[in-house]
Structure 1
Amino acid sequence: MDQLVLIGTDLVAVGVLTWTYFRRHRRRDLVVAFLGMNVGVLAVASTLASATIGAGLGLGLFGVLSIIRLRSTEVDQREVAYYFAALALGILGALPGEILWHSIAFMALLLLAVLVGDHPRVLRRHQRQELVLDGAVLDRVALVARLEGMLGARVHQVAVQRVDLVNDTTWVDVRYETVPPARRRGHVQAGREAARTTTTGTGS
């Protein structure tokens, strides 16, 4: 009876997880991946738990398969979190603990952590982009000022991935915080003035 309760809880939890992911990010292919992984782990782990083969071996095999799956296509860190949440929910639903509500509580905690962490209002002003800039920019101060003027944002971290002196381009990975509209115009102007001052000082 406890096993049926856990299986039902897992199916409800993965349904909520998958539906929320699809509403927020609209990737239909990963809906199939999340559901297939969860139900597959649930079925196989439940079988292994009552068989002579060790459940640890079976879960280890699923760990290897999950690594292969993640390497076979491009997924970002947000999707990795959903992917392993679906995996963990299947394991919790298949391997009941000594106290039933412990497993249910852990499922609820896992679901809450992923859904709240991925909520659009959580750290919504903080973003990351990879950009290709026109011009080979070697001065870091001028680079940050140019990015702030271009994005209208406060740059927190920038990593130069490539400077192409032949094609005159700069590839950067930038982490920034968007500025409220009321302050954006002044921030853009300040960034442009800083970039112009730095460029003039370097040229002289």
Structure 2
Amino acid sequence: MSQLILFAIDIGAVVLLVFGLYFPRHRRRDLVVAYLGVNVGVLAVASALSASNVGAGLGLGLALFGVLSIIRLRSTELDQHEVAYYFSALALGILGALSTTSIWLSAGLMGLIVVVMFLGDHPRLLRHYRHQIMVLDSAVTDHVTLVAQLEQLLGGRVHVATVQRLDLVNETTWVDVRYSVKGRSARAAAAPAQAGVH
């Protein structure tokens, strides 16, 4: 009976994680299926292994290996927050299958995962900080000049500017920029000036 309660708590937690947190904030429908599938798949496999003579460590190792393989062999690019949701869905499935622990401990840990993801991925947390890959229509070799040009284009303070490619023939600079913008709306901060940026 306690196992069925854990299953129900896991399903409730992953539904809250996916439909209450992830999808309203990021609107990526394809990953909704992935998170639900990972959670239920790990829950089913870990439950079956816990009921057999196979060691729980082997089962968890296989589950982690499978998820890591999926993430490594993915066909589309995932952001770091999306990887975090993957592991949260995985952890919820594992906790839902562990009948050896207290039901309250498992439920509490599931709740902790959801709360941490709610806070860590909250739009207001570090909302002034941005990350962007930019292509400038000029070859900038001086770092100070590059930072000044980026700050003018972005209207904020550049914290890190890493040149990924410098093309002196075609006069372009590819740069990975970490910057912060204060006192502006999120819409204005997310849309840099168009001049000189492709």
Per the normalisation by structure 2, the TM-score is: 0.89
Aligned to 1:176: 179
- What is the distance in 2 between the residues matched to 1:80 and 1:122? 18
**Matches of residues 13-24 of structure 1 in structure 2 within 5 Å?**
13-19=13-19, 20-24=21-25
Report the alpha carbon displacement of residue 98 of structure 1 after superposing the two structures with TM.
3.4
Report the alpha carbon displacement of residue 23 of structure 1 after superposing the two structures with TM.
1.0
- What is the distance in 2 between the residues matched to 1:75 and 1:25? 12
Aligned to 2:118: 115
Report the alpha carbon displacement of residue 54 of structure 1 after superposing the two structures with TM.
1.4
Aligned to 1:10: 10
Matched residue of 1:129: which SS?
strand
Say whether 1:124 aligns with 2:124.
no
Matched residue of 1:173: which SS?
strand
Matched residue of 1:127: which SS?
strand
Letter in 1 for 2:64: G
Matched residue of 1:41: which SS?
helix
4+ residue runs over 4 A deviation: none
Query: Identity over the aligned pairs, expressed in percent?
Result: 57
Say whether 1:62 aligns with 2:63.
yes
Aligned to 1:37: 38
Q: Which runs of 5+ in 1 are unaligned?
A: 185-204
> Alpha-carbon deviations, 1:149-204, whole Å to 9, x = none?
0000111111111111111111100000013149x9xxxxxxxxxxxxxxxxxxxx
Matched residue of 1:90: which SS?
helix
Q: Structure 1 residue aligned with 2:140, among 134, 137, 146?
A: 137
- What is the distance in 1 between the residues matched to 2:179 and 2:113? 28
- What is the distance in 2 between the residues matched to 1:9 and 1:98? 14
Report the alpha carbon displacement of residue 124 of structure 1 after superposing the two structures with TM.
0.8
- What is the distance in 2 between the residues matched to 1:109 and 1:98? 16
Matched residue of 2:49: which SS?
helix
Matched residue of 2:127: which SS?
coil
**Matches of residues 99-114 of structure 1 in structure 2 within 5 Å?**
99-114=102-117
Report the alpha carbon displacement of residue 56 of structure 1 after superposing the two structures with TM.
1.5
Per the normalisation by structure 1, the TM-score is: 0.86
**Matches of residues 178-197 of structure 1 in structure 2 within 5 Å?**
178-181=181-184
- What is the distance in 2 between the residues matched to 1:31 and 1:181? 32
Q: Which has the higher helix share?
A: 1
Superposed CA RMSD: 1.5
Q: Which runs of 5+ in 2 are unaligned?
A: 189-198
- What is the distance in 2 between the residues matched to 1:70 and 1:33? 11
Letter in 2 for 1:45: A
- What is the distance in 2 between the residues matched to 1:38 and 1:98? 19
Letter in 1 for 2:7: I
Task: Kindly indicate whether the alpha-carbon contact (under 8 Å) linking 1:152 and 1:179 is maintained by their aligned counterparts in 2.
Answer: no
- What is the distance in 2 between the residues matched to 1:2 and 1:81? 28
* Structure with max Cα Rg: 1
> Alpha-carbon deviations, 1:94-145, whole Å to 9, x = none?
0134322111111111111111111111111101000011111111111110
